[in-house]
Chains A and B, each alone.
Chain A
Amino acid sequence: MEEYRALFLAEARDYLQGMTDHLLHMEKDPGDAAHLTEVFRSAHSLKGMAGTMGYNLISGLTHKMETLLDSLRGGHTKVETEMVSLLFEAVDLVQLMVNNLDRQADYTETVLELEHKLLAWLDREPGLEPVPVKQNINQLAVKDPDKGTSGGGSQTFNKDVQNFNEYEKEMLKDAMLKGKSILHIHVRLLEGSLLKAVRAYMIYKAVEDQGDIIKTEPCMPELEEGQFERDFSLFVVGLPDHDELRRSIEGISEVEKVHVVPLVPDWEPEMEIAATAAVFVSPEGDTPAISTADLPLEQEHQPPSTSDMANRLAIPRDNKEKAPTLARAAEKTVRVETAKLDILVNLVGELVINRTRVLELGKGADKELLEGSLEQLKRITNDLQSAVMTLRMFPIKQVFHRFPRMVRDLAIGQNKEVELVITGEDTELDRTIVNQVGDPLVHLLRNAVDHGIETPEERKAKGKNPAGRIVLEAHHEGSHVVVSVSDDGKGIDPEAIKKKVLEKGIVSSQELEIMNGSELVNLIFRSGFSTSETVTDISGRGVGMDVVKTSVEAINGTVELKSEIDKGSHFVLRLPLTLAIIHALMVKAGNEIYAIPIEAILENIFVEPDEIRTVNRDRVITLREEVLPLSSLSESLGMGTFKQRKMYPVVVVRAGNKKAGLIVDDLLGQQEIVIKSLSKFVDGIRGIAGATVLGDGRVALILDVATLLEDGRVIIGKESSHH
């Protein structure tokens, strides 16, 4: 059962997401029926799945959604924002129930309330033709507990079977005169049969092929609407072989019983037909006569409720081990537990480490054969590594897909018009990063709607399109993924920022004076700076942009802002593709080896002692007309003191808009390293991002350049204003 449940969960979430996406499109473009069809299809599939699993509330609610959607399809109802919101409400509720499958009952009232609202929407449409499909659904939905099947009420077989009208009597008379046989075919369907109307239709067709049907009981319209319990009758003339007929009906599924009885009407032309079953007599007795005992005199059963059905859909437990393979055979994508992936990634990491170790050992051996096979080992591990890494890659779509809905709701809440354009949603990056990039993006998008995009009136006054536009974009750039959020709103005023930072005492006025426009704007990332002028329920939560910056930097990313007044703001997030394996420059400082992530490195230079100047007791050099602060890595990490040398290797690092030169003792070269998390004793040390195991088995610490620069342990440098 668990397997089914997991699959149900996964698929239900897909369908819910699909509904959300298409509802948004539908709202935007009501003329395009494709989206409506997709929403409908998703609701429909969900209903079927939930019904099979016995989640009655979900299937009931999706059924009502379907009804509303169907009236849209039929053009009986128009797409309106309020209605889309109602449908969204339903999507949310279903999502809630899907998330809390074990506590379905808690939602009974909420569901009923919402179902009522959904149906009320249909009813409130003035002058609306009754929606035909809705009607049919109600009649056909045998399992709708409050409806049940009326079965037309009076259709027990023998009650009014003989109500032949004049025309029918003529037909019978004619048949008799011509010596044709007249058959009464009585069919009983299996208990709980659904779409009985269609079943009846199938049987009708099978019979029609072999003779003329002169009457049905119940009458045709009722048969077509499925208004009968389990039994119905056909009266046919001109059939040569009733055994064959019986067999062909019995060949149709859900047929429980078929009686084919030749009729000898016991009437004279003028006589009225007696209203009892006794008018039919069975000749010879070789064919069983319809005895009233065979036929239901009473409505002996009620249609089964959905839960009965679901309970009876006995899902075989012993097939459990087969289930995963089934899913795999059919799915294009495989859902793999991330824990398993992590193990695989770790193993590949070990392999890479071992390869390096073997390579180093091989250096001494100096044998061509060894080198050849080592070269091969290297190639294989490289391939394996990139193959495994792709397993961890997820399209950023997984984060983006919830934004259209979010932006829509935010915009409606503020009476703004906002169009969200998403591109590059198939860009893939490591799942850890995918998981962590969501919150910063939510924040940026909220800000864009809340503070960036103006009200339609303001925009019109500025000569802009009343509808604002937010572009969310992702693309690969080397070993990075760049995600940007741009809006065409009012932008950020550097003067306002100046005022604010001075007010809050974040930066001194002297510091402010030497800042350029871009630097000023990027001050919003400083902690303590809140962008909200007025507190709204959207972004005025005391959470500033510094949180965005911190969380982006936590995944080795950077965030930058470009903004122009009345043109809009442009946030650029640069994120690493993966966190598990990185390229790093290995350096020596003191007796230790450190790894500096390549992403943080701008260049390596060699500095002679006389190039170093001292400004305010800090060491600096001038590099290409730019003043670059220097700091000794050993000193910064408290691992030693600055030693006089003839030549200093310097690694120029950068984090955000800060730059610095790190003086190291030696540059050891570039290498791929596997990040191992530090044990909890040494975890959380600022300046250290993790550790890695080197080829020779030694452990090297990985530097966290961003926090090193942030802490001021390495003197903060500034981007040159000469650029």
Chain B
Amino acid sequence: MGKKVLITDDTAFMRMTLRNVLEKNGYEIADEAEDGQQAVEKYEQHKPDLVTMDITMPNMDGITAIKLIVEKNPDAKIVVVSAMGQKALVIEALNAGARDFIVKPFQPDRIVEALNKVGGA
């Protein structure tokens, strides 16, 4: 069984893209979250091996979610999937405890590489 991933993104489109890419590469999708709040809740629920995290989302942004998740789960392996032009935010996310990041629009192998590396596959 592949590693379990929680996908977090507010666009269904991006979630679907991520899911397809990851499933194709042997990952199992634990669940999908549409905002930071859901990500925090679903992390506790599934305790996934890896999390992909969008930054700009409604309700709760990705950075807050990372902080909350890492606070409770220092070993959480979160990869930020950010859009272009969010340099400062990505840095903030990394400082908050994200392990790595990739930039949208991404090439499929990049997100797989990031998850492989962070997950130690």
Q: Name the contact of B15 in the complex, choosing from A306, A319, A326 (C-beta under 8 A).
A: A326
What are the residues of chain B within 8 A of A329 when measuring CB–CB? 32
User: Which residues in window 175-231 of A have CB below 8 A to B?
Assistant: 190, 192-195, 197-198, 201-202, 205, 226
User: Which residues in window 453-498 of A have CB below 8 A to B?
Assistant: none
Q: Name the contact of A41 in the complex, choosing from B17, B58, B91 (C-beta under 8 A).
A: B58
Instruction: Considering the complex, give the chain B residue whose CB is closest to the CB of A9.
Output: B13
What are the residues of chain B within 8 A of A194 when measuring CB–CB? 84, 103
Query: Do A52 and B85 contact each other (CB < 8 Å), given the known contacts A195-B101, A309-B105, A313-B105?
Result: no
What are the residues of chain B within 8 A of A114 when measuring CB–CB? none
Q: Total number of A-B contacts with CB less than 8 angstroms?
A: 133
Q: Mark A62-74, 1 if CB is under 8 A from B, else 0.
A: 0100100000000
What are the residues of chain A within 8 A of B86 when measuring CB–CB? 195
Establish whether residues B101 and A198, one from each chain, have CB atoms under 8 Å apart when the complex forms. yes
Q: Is B44 an interface residue (CB 8 A)?
A: no
What are the residues of chain A within 8 A of B114 when measuring CB–CB? 253-254
Establish whether residues A312 and B17, one from each chain, have CB atoms under 8 Å apart when the complex forms. no
Establish whether residues A133 and B85, one from each chain, have CB atoms under 8 Å apart when the complex forms. yes
Q: Name the contact of A141 in the complex, choosing from B17, B56, B79, B85 (C-beta under 8 A).
A: B85
Kindly provide the distance from the CB of A74 to the nearest chain B CB, expressed in whole angstroms: 12
Q: Name the contact of B104 in the complex, choosing from A48, A316, A327 (C-beta under 8 A).
A: A48
CA distance A694 to B36 in the complex (A): 54
A selection of 9 A-B contacts at a CB cut-off of 8 Å is A4-B16, A49-B11, A141-B85, A143-B84, A194-B84, A313-B106, A322-B23, A326-B16, A327-B12
What are the residues of chain B within 8 A of A198 when measuring CB–CB? 87, 90-91, 94, 101
B→A interface (CB under 8 Å):
10-17, 19-21, 23-24, 32, 34, 56-58, 79, 82-87, 90-91, 94, 100-108, 110, 113-114, 117-118
Q: Name the contact of A330 in the complex, choosing from B15, B57, B94 (C-beta under 8 A).
A: B15
What are the residues of chain A within 8 A of B21 when measuring CB–CB? 316
Establish whether residues A254 and B110, one from each chain, have CB atoms under 8 Å apart when the complex forms. yes
Instruction: Considering the complex, give the chain B residue whose CB is closest to the CB of A40.
Output: B56
Q: Is A252 an interface residue (CB 8 A)?
A: yes
CA distance A316 to B24 in the complex (A): 8
Establish whether residues B20 and A251, one from each chain, have CB atoms under 8 Å apart when the complex forms. no
Q: Is A696 an interface residue (CB 8 A)?
A: no
- Most-contacted residue by chain A among B12, B14, B117 (CB, 10 A): B12
What are the residues of chain A within 8 A of B15 when measuring CB–CB? 326, 330
Establish whether residues B12 and A331, one from each chain, have CB atoms under 8 Å apart when the complex forms. yes
What are the residues of chain B within 8 A of A141 when measuring CB–CB? 84-85
Give the dominant DSSP class at A's interface: helix
What are the residues of chain B within 8 A of A11 when measuring CB–CB? 11-13
Establish whether residues A197 and B87, one from each chain, have CB atoms under 8 Å apart when the complex forms. yes
Instruction: Considering the complex, give the chain B residue whose CB is closest to the CB of A253.
Output: B114
Establish whether residues A47 and B20, one from each chain, have CB atoms under 8 Å apart when the complex forms. no
The size bracket of the interface on A is 35 or more
What are the residues of chain A within 8 A of B94 when measuring CB–CB? 198, 201-202, 205
Establish whether residues A330 and B87, one from each chain, have CB atoms under 8 Å apart when the complex forms. no
Q: Is A136 an interface residue (CB 8 A)?
A: yes
Q: Is A590 an interface residue (CB 8 A)?
A: no
Kindly provide the distance from the CB of A73 to the nearest chain B CB, expressed in whole angstroms: 12
What are the residues of chain A within 8 A of B24 when measuring CB–CB? 316, 319
Kindly provide the distance from the CB of A410 to the nearest chain B CB, expressed in whole angstroms: 31
Establish whether residues B34 and A330, one from each chain, have CB atoms under 8 Å apart when the complex forms. yes
Instruction: Considering the complex, give the chain B residue whose CB is closest to the CB of A197.
Output: B87
Q: Name the contact of A7 in the complex, choosing from B12, B85, B101 (C-beta under 8 A).
A: B12
What are the residues of chain A within 8 A of B16 when measuring CB–CB? 3-4, 7, 323, 326-327
Establish whether residues B100 and A252, one from each chain, have CB atoms under 8 Å apart when the complex forms. yes
Q: Is A445 an interface residue (CB 8 A)?
A: no
Kindly provide the distance from the CB of A230 to the nearest chain B CB, expressed in whole angstroms: 14
CA distance A314 to B90 in the complex (A): 25
Establish whether residues B85 and A48, one from each chain, have CB atoms under 8 Å apart when the complex forms. no
Q: Name the contact of B11 in the complex, choosing from A48, A195, A309, A319 (C-beta under 8 A).
A: A48
Kindly provide the distance from the CB of A660 to the nearest chain B CB, expressed in whole angstroms: 53
Establish whether residues B83 and A48, one from each chain, have CB atoms under 8 Å apart when the complex forms. yes
CA distance A41 to B62 in the complex (A): 13
Instruction: Considering the complex, give the chain B residue whose CB is closest to the CB of A5.
Output: B13
5 extra A-B contacts, CB within 8 A, seeds A192-B107, A306-B105? A8-B13, A194-B84, A205-B94, A316-B24, A330-B34
What are the residues of chain A within 8 A of B14 when measuring CB–CB? 48-49, 52
What are the residues of chain B within 8 A of A193 when measuring CB–CB? 103
Q: Is A51 an interface residue (CB 8 A)?
A: yes
CA distance A417 to B13 in the complex (A): 39
CA distance A205 to B97 in the complex (A): 13
Q: Name the contact of B85 in the complex, choosing from A137, A306, A309, A316 (C-beta under 8 A).
A: A137
Kindly provide the distance from the CB of A334 to the nearest chain B CB, expressed in whole angstroms: 11
CA distance A192 to B109 in the complex (A): 12
Establish whether residues B117 and A195, one from each chain, have CB atoms under 8 Å apart when the complex forms. no
Instruction: Considering the complex, give the chain B residue whose CB is closest to the CB of A15.
Output: B11
User: Which residues in window 28-53 of A have CB below 8 A to B?
Assistant: 38, 41, 44-45, 47-49, 51-52
What are the residues of chain A within 8 A of B100 when measuring CB–CB? 202, 252-253
Instruction: Considering the complex, give the chain A residue whose CB is closest to the CB of B21.
Output: A316
Establish whether residues B105 and A7, one from each chain, have CB atoms under 8 Å apart when the complex forms. no
What are the residues of chain B within 8 A of A192 when measuring CB–CB? 107
Instruction: Considering the complex, give the chain A residue whose CB is closest to the CB of B55.
Output: A44
Kindly provide the distance from the CB of B89 to the nearest chain A CB, expressed in whole angstroms: 9
What are the residues of chain A within 8 A of B91 when measuring CB–CB? 198, 201
Establish whether residues B110 and A253, one from each chain, have CB atoms under 8 Å apart when the complex forms. yes
